[in-house]
């Protein structure tokens, strides 16, 4: 670091920004000169400058009754236009005031949470460590009881013996049912032969129908499209 005591500068630029010598300048002042570090501070940071700032007294303002009366109109506050909303009836409360609840709204500051299981403050019954520990112990106890009941088999009874005998016998085999096939009633009648005369008559009738069906009916006011050359 480069410190210049005559120009009151330092390469860290702290002395130029604040006006007070930093540790680099303080070490240089104590090493080179026998002066105090207060002598190298800026003039605005001295006690004489502080006294000159508050040399003049600030007199209090007179009351409204002692104001000078003039012929000019009195100051009037600006017109207040109500906003299109529900008017507020309560004032804004300060930070130090205690919030109060009502029949429709709850207060913002609540009482500390207390556990109903162990009675301690700071948690509820759902997150209680003591309850979780006791529930785990109760679960292990129930598992041990179930394992003990499984290991000790109960003495066989008459109903159990009958059930075992029925299980050994098993179900009887199913009866084999023969399904009768449905007989198809085949028609013994031979197909009728179609003669050439009937075919000729049918073709002539269909031709007449097509002639009457495909007749051209002119539409009034119809203009034919021009032929492209």
pLDDT of residue 226: 79
DSSP state of 114: B
Residues of the chain with pLDDT below 50 are 186-187
Please give the pLDDT value at position 228.
73
Domain limits, the chain: 3-53, 111-152
Specify the pLDDT at position 180: 65
By percentage, how much of the chain surpasses pLDDT 90? 5
Instruction: Report yes or no: 123 and 115 within 8 Å, Cβ to Cβ.
Output: yes
Please choose, from the candidates 13, 10, 42, the residue with its C-alpha nearest in 3D space to the C-alpha of residue 27: 10
Q: What is the pLDDT of residue 157?
A: 61
DSSP 94: P
Quote the CA–CA distance of 122 and 127 in Å, as a whole number.
Answer: 10
The pLDDT, as a whole number, for residue 36 is 82
Q: What is the pLDDT of residue 164?
A: 61
Question: What is the distance between the alpha carbons of residues 121 and 115, in angstroms, rounded to a whole number?
Answer: 6
* β-strand partners of 114: 121
Task: Give pLDDT, residue 153.
Answer: 58
């Amino acid at each position: 670091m480069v410190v210049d005591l005559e120009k009151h500068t330092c390469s860290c630029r702290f002395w130029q920004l604040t006006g007070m010598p930093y540790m680099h300048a303080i070490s240089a002042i104590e090493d080179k000169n026998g002066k105090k570090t207060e002598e190298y501070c800026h003039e605005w940071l001295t006690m004489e400058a502080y006294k000159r700032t508050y040399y003049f007294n600030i007199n209090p303002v007179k009351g409204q009754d002692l104001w000078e009366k003039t012929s000019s109109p009195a100051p009037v506050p600006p017109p207040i236009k109500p906003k299109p909303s529900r008017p507020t009836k309560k004032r804004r409360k300060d930070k130090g005031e205690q919030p109060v609840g009502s029949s429709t709204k709850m207060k913002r500051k609540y009482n500390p949470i207390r556990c109903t299981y162990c009675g301690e403050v700071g948690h509820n019954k759902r997150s209680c460590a003591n309850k979780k520990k006791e529930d785990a112990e109760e679960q292990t106890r129930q598992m041990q009881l179930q394992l003990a009941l499984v290991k000790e088999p109960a003495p066989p009874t008459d109903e159990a013996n009958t059930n075992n005998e029925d299980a050994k016998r098993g179900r009887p085999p199913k009866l084999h049912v023969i399904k009768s096939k449905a007989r198809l009633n085949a028609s013994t009648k031979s197909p009728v032969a179609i003669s050439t005369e009937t075919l000729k008559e049918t073709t002539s009738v269909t031709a007449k129908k097509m002639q009457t069906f495909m007749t051209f009916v002119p539409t009034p006011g119809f203009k034919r499209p021009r032929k492209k050359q």
